[in-house]
Amino acid sequence: MITSHSADIQLLEERVSRFIRFGDGSFEELILAVHSFQRIACAPYGAYCLKLAMPTRWHEIPAIPLAAFRQAPIRSFAAAQTVRSFRTSGTTGEGYGEHHFRTLELYRLAALTGWRDAGLPRGNFFCLMPSPDESPHSSLSCMAGWLAPREHFFLGEWHRLSEAISLEREPLVLFGTALAFLNFFEWLGEQQLRLPSRSVAVETGGYKGTNRSLPKSELYSLFQSHLGIESDEIWNEYGMTELSSQFYARGLRSPHRGAAWVRARLIDPETGDECSDGETGVLRVFDLANVGSCCVLQTRDLATRRGAHFELIGRDPAALPRGCSRSADEIRRQ
């Protein structure tokens, strides 16, 4: 049976899709409409917003902490309509969160259009990660599966990857996590691979669940020494399971930028106010493509504001803006 919520979410998905494809409509008008719907359709988020006034501007929309995705189903549609659930990696003792999707069409549109709008190449992809078949709960693998054929996934199969690279004559796009690239470089040892000219790399950062870490400048120097890829030809993707859109930065010095349907604000954790340009705060993301869950997420990532963009610093588990600590009890009661 199609409920009124089902009809509403389909209409919102269509409107957001037109905004992503053609720029039809207003970001503020659309995200306020999505928020108004989610406040009613998603019970945990509705409880979180219960004592909060309805926003009149996009930046006033209440942000839900990422921890909410581990505590309750953040879903703005009937559970029976779920076609895919992606899981966060989590950390020891905290379990994993889930991001549920009624349809993957809007997610696919946002991911691929965002890649194109950022200026990233669409070429011959080689992915240092599990394939979507091997890791069906990974949103990253799902996205990579829209870019690369299944035979171009190589996680841990470094000999096969190096052999495949050596046979290529067209420019490559190497796509993987920072940890996967680091493992590949360590396997290479003193070897240097010759990649076709104009080849690039896209790394997603992240050493979660390990005791390993490497400054970005050192990691990027390994790309140059092992693969001949200069730092200006390396892209970093900032995204997460709980989002449907991503931000991208090129090289070591450029800030992360998002497409027209996703925005970021830097919040002072002490005051809850937006940081001024050049100040460091906690990243808050407004993702219009998150129609089926919650469109505003409060991360624990620190970044420095660079105009409308941000320079990512890293995670600070203690850094949450004032007021977010109350969320746990209210969400768990649902």
For position 318, which CATH number holds? 2.30.38.10
Q: How far is CA 89 from CA 78, 86, 178, in A?
A: 25, 10, 15
Q: Are residues 7 and 60 in the same domain?
A: yes
Q: Measuring CA to CA, which residue among 165, 163, 290, 306 is closest to residue 239?
A: 290
Burial class (CB in 10 A: 0-12, 13-18, 19+), 171: middle
Task: Give residue 195's domain range.
Answer: 119-258
Q: Are 96 and 66 in contact (CB under 8 A)?
A: no
Handedness of CA 60, 66, 69, 75 (dihedral sign): positive
Please name the residues in contact with 187: beta carbons below 8 A apart, sequence gap of 6 or more: 158
Q: Are residues 289 and 162 in the same domain?
A: no
Q: Measuring CA to CA, which residue among 130, 140, 118, 133 is closest to residue 254?
A: 118
DSSP one-letter string for 86-114: EE---BTTTB--EEEES-SHHHHHHHHHH
Q: Which of 258, 287, 305 is the last residue of a domain?
A: 258
Please name the residues in contact with 168: beta carbons below 8 A apart, sequence gap of 6 or more: 124, 195, 196
pLDDT string in tens for the chain (334-residue length): 334 577 899 999 999 999 999 999 999 999 999 999 999 999 999 999 999 999 999 999 999 999 999 999 999 999 999 999 999 976 545 678 999 999 999 999 999 999 999 999 888 999 999 999 999 999 999 999 999 999 999 999 999 999 999 999 999 999 999 999 999 999 999 999 989 999 999 999 876 656 677 889 999 999 999 999 999 999 999 999 999 999 999 999 899 999 999 999 999 999 999 999 999 999 999 999 999 999 999 999 999 999 999 999 988 767 667 655 544 445 555 5
Strands (E), the chain: 64-65, 84-87, 98-101, 124-128, 172-176, 200-203, 234-238, 247-250, 257-258, 262-267, 280-287, 296-306, 309-315
The span from the CA of 232 to the CA of 252, in Å, is 7
Give pTM, 2 decimals: 0.92
CATH code (residue 132): 3.40.50
- Neighbouring C-beta atoms of residue 313, cutoff 10 Å: 13
Q: Measuring CA to CA, which residue among 167, 219, 218, 231 is closest to residue 193?
A: 167
- Give the ranges where 27-177 is alpha helix by DSSP (H): 27-41, 43-49, 68-71, 105-117, 139-145, 158-167
Q: Which of 258, 285, 308 is the last residue of a domain?
A: 258
Q: Which of 258, 286, 319 is the last residue of a domain?
A: 258
